Amino acid sequence: MNSGKTIFAQLMDYVPAKAFQSCVARYRGDYKLISFSCWDQFLCMAFAQLTYRESLRDIEACLRAQQAKLYHLGIRGKVSRATLARANENRDWRIYADFAQVLITRARELYLHDDFGLALEQTVYALDATTIDLCLALFPWAKFRQHKGAVMLHTLLDLRGNIPTVVIITDGKVHENQIMDRLVFEAGAFYVMDRGYLDLLRLHRLHLAGAFFVTRAKSNSTFRRLSSRPVDRTTGVMCDQVVTWRNPDPRKKYPSRLRRISYRDPATDRDLVFLTNNFTLPPLLIAQLYRSRWQVELFFKWIKQHLRIKKFYGTTENALKTQIWIAITVYVLAAIVKKELQLDQTSLYTILQILSVTIFEKTPILSALSPVNYNYALDHDANQLILFD
């Protein structure tokens, strides 16, 4: 008989319990609670994310079916739909946001020296936002359009390991470039973003902070060329220029020089114009940096497909943010486990799929998640005759 821990309990061993309790104490999450603590809430919601539960009733039914194992999972309080609904509605979502930052810091340390496809020592961030559509009748606080609700998930993604370092949840009316006001820019780092973030005052603040940006120019942007550099057009780079804004209004907002690189994408035969405040990197590397921005789009697609952040267990703002932050925590926790167990050949998708069906198994987590090479070699001592000799 296997008397070891369940895989879910082994997974939660990677969660720093003291750091979690510090986050709970910061917002008095367990104040005057008799049962069903914030830790119980976190475990139930993490279970829901890992096993793709559809509703609170679904969570209750599945956990009660394993009543004898709940204590060994770490869940001490009685699990019920009403209790979990009240916890999601009333307990401060910032508990789980702060705790996610603890895990994010740990994950970034683990992936610090990972290669992301470009020979660059500096940290590279991709900044973007995605819209999560909501029913306005159920989520009246999430105003977006007249007959439509939505929230925006603004994300600053560290491309080494695809770890979300900053996540800000707003209603759908907040423009994506306004999030730059809430970021503390890291000197020497690269921030790659699309044309939606081409706000000159905010880009100049980034420039003054000693950071670098790479973005695309808008079609109506006009520049005055100050100098040109020779380029190898066989690489797709058509020009590499030092420019300033032609019109006085944008020049007043961004008075510093800019580097303008025109690049013809061989895959689509489109001409793309990039703007950056970095004057030392090769122009082709600047174009490749912008192409790496696609990783944040893949991140959004991945979490929407494999985590529960499109359908919600509650309709209040607190419940929605709690669910999203715990989903991000589960994503980062899976990334930490992948690195700690050295599962370099196993994708996060595979890890989550295996966890979803082995959550109550009592087997070493490394054995469950390690890739298995099945050998279907023919046994020549078998009674089955060989069809082809």
Q: For residue 375, name the pLDDT band (cuts at 50, 70, 90).
A: very low
Q: Cα–Cα distance between 142 and 171 in angstroms, integer?
A: 5
Residue 96: predicted pLDDT: 97
* Helix H or strand E segment including 229: strand 223-229
Of 161, 169, 88, the closest CA to residue 334 belongs to 161
Residue type, 336: I
Q: What would the DSSP string read from start to end of 146-202?
A: TTEEEEEEEEEEETTTTEEEEEEEEETTS-GGGGGGG--PPTT-EEEE-GGG--HHH
Q: State the pTM of this model.
A: 0.89
Q: What digits encode the pLDDT tens for the residues 216-232? A: 999 889 999 999 999 99
What is residue 144's three-state secondary structure? Answer: strand
- 270 beta partners: 265
Cβ atoms 13, 7 nearer than 8 A = no
Residue 378: predicted pLDDT: 40
Q: For residue 3, name the pLDDT band (cuts at 50, 70, 90).
A: low
Greatest mean pLDDT among 2-6, 349-353, 371-375: 349-353
Residue 22: predicted pLDDT: 96
Instruction: With both helix axes pointing from N to C terminus, report the angle between 17-26 and 94-110 in degrees, rounded to the nearest 10.
Output: 150
pLDDT mean over 357-378: 75
Structure-token pair, residue 320: 């929605």
Poorest-confidence range of 8-12, 161-165, 324-328, 372-376?
A: 372-376
Neighbouring C-beta atoms of residue 121, cutoff 10 Å = 6
Residue 153: predicted pLDDT: 95
Residue 371: predicted pLDDT: 75
Residue 387: predicted pLDDT: 41
pLDDT mean over 117-143: 92
Of 319, 219, 326, the closest CA to residue 270 belongs to 219
Structure-token pair, residue 36: 């069903």
* Residue 120 dihedral angles phi and psi, to the nearest 5°: -145, 130
Residue 35: predicted pLDDT: 83
Q: Cα–Cα distance between 17 and 70 in angstroms, integer?
A: 18
pLDDT mean over 263-272: 89
Q: In percent, how much of the chain has pLDDT > 70?
A: 95
Q: What digits encode the pLDDT tens for the residues 197-221? A: 999 999 999 999 999 999 999 988 9
Q: Domain 195-292: which topology?
A: Ribosomal Protein S8; Chain: A, domain 1 (3.30.1370)
Residue 79: predicted pLDDT: 86
pLDDT at 348 over 70: yes
Long-range contacts of 350-355 (CB under 8 A, 24+ apart): 352/50, 352/306, 355/7, 355/8, 355/11, 355/50
Q: Cα–Cα distance between 341 and 148 in angstroms, integer?
A: 44
Q: Cα–Cα distance between 51 and 249 in angstroms, integer?
A: 54
pLDDT at 78 over 90: no
- 153 beta partners: 130, 169
Q: Cα–Cα distance between 112 and 119 in angstroms, integer?
A: 14
Residue 380: predicted pLDDT: 45
Average of per-residue pLDDT values in the chain: 90
Q: Tokens 């690049």 correspond to what residue?
A: 263
Write b or e for each residue in 286-298: b if 16 or more Cβ atoms lie within 10 A of its Cβ, otherwise e. bbbbbbbbebbee
Residue 374: predicted pLDDT: 39
Poorest-confidence range of 111-120, 173-182, 274-283, 311-320?
A: 111-120
Cβ atoms 289, 118 nearer than 8 A = yes
Q: For residue 379, name the pLDDT band (cuts at 50, 70, 90).
A: very low
Question: What are the domain boundaries of the chain?
Answer: 7-95+315-367, 195-292
Q: Cα–Cα distance between 101 and 158 in angstroms, integer?
A: 13
Residue 237: predicted pLDDT: 94
Q: How many CA atoms lie within 13 A of 248 on its CB side?
A: 0
pLDDT mean over 234-256: 94
pLDDT at 386 over 50: no
pLDDT mean over 165-177: 92
* Helix H or strand E segment including 246: none
**Helices marked H in the chain — which ranges?**
7-12, 17-26, 38-51, 56-65, 70-73, 81-90, 94-110, 200-208, 248-253, 283-291, 294-306, 317-340, 348-358, 365-369
pLDDT mean over 158-178: 92
